[in-house]
Amino acid sequence: MQLYRLIYYSQPFGYDQPMLNGILVDARNYNPTNNITGALICREDIFLQLLEGPKEKILLTYSKILSDDRHLNVKLLVETACESRIFPDWDMKDDPAKSWFWNREQIKSGILETISEKEVINIFEKIAQSH
């Protein structure tokens, strides 16, 4: 099995706690049966999500996210094979922006359009180390 990593960001549509709970329940039911792990960093203005697992399962999951009406303006940041998982024990770790590194103005002004793949991966590695 080739281990694969995908990171994207999107704008939440109708962000509130019940909507977030729905996403997390969906992920925690779907991911274990598909050998997917990951993390979702979230707040009202952004989702930043990392998915890891078998390539075909990750790409199928991402295609479902692209058609999920809870996500607007989905943008792919990282898509690559990887040697190991950052969140091996998490079906879907959620981080409600406590570990967030950018303010709303920075997001609005397009910081995610200029960030490197390494910087994005480092964000998730820092979150994994803190838990």
Q: How many domains does the chain have?
A: 1
The per-residue pLDDT for range 76-85, each reduced to its tens digit, is 999 999 999 9
Q: Across all residues in the chain, what is the average pLDDT?
A: 88
Q: Which domain holds residue 55?
A: 3-130
How does DSSP assign 90-107, residue by residue?
-SSEEE-STT--S-HHHH
pTM of the model: 0.89
Task: Look at residues 92, 20, 9 and name the one whose alpha carbon lies nearest to residue 53.
Answer: 92
> Does residue 99 contact residue 39 with C-beta atoms inside 8 Å?
no
Alpha-helical regions (H) of the chain: 17-33, 55-66, 104-108, 111-114, 117-130
Among 23-27, 30-34, 71-75, the range scoring the smallest mean pLDDT is 23-27
Q: What is the pLDDT of residue 96?
A: 63
Write the CATH number for 38: 3.30.70.100
Strand partners, 7: 50, 78
Q: What is the pLDDT of residue 98?
A: 56
pLDDT average, residue stretch 98-120: 83
pLDDT average, residue stretch 57-78: 94
Q: Within 10 A of 36 (CB to CB), how many other CB atoms are there?
A: 22
Based on its alpha-carbon atoms, the radius of gyration of the chain, rounded to whole angstroms, reads: 14
pLDDT average, residue stretch 1-23: 89
The per-residue pLDDT for range 86-105, each reduced to its tens digit, is 988 887 776 665 555 788 88
Write down the residue that tokens 């922006």 correspond to: 97
Q: Which residues touch 28 (CB under 8 Å, ≥6 apart)?
A: 91, 92
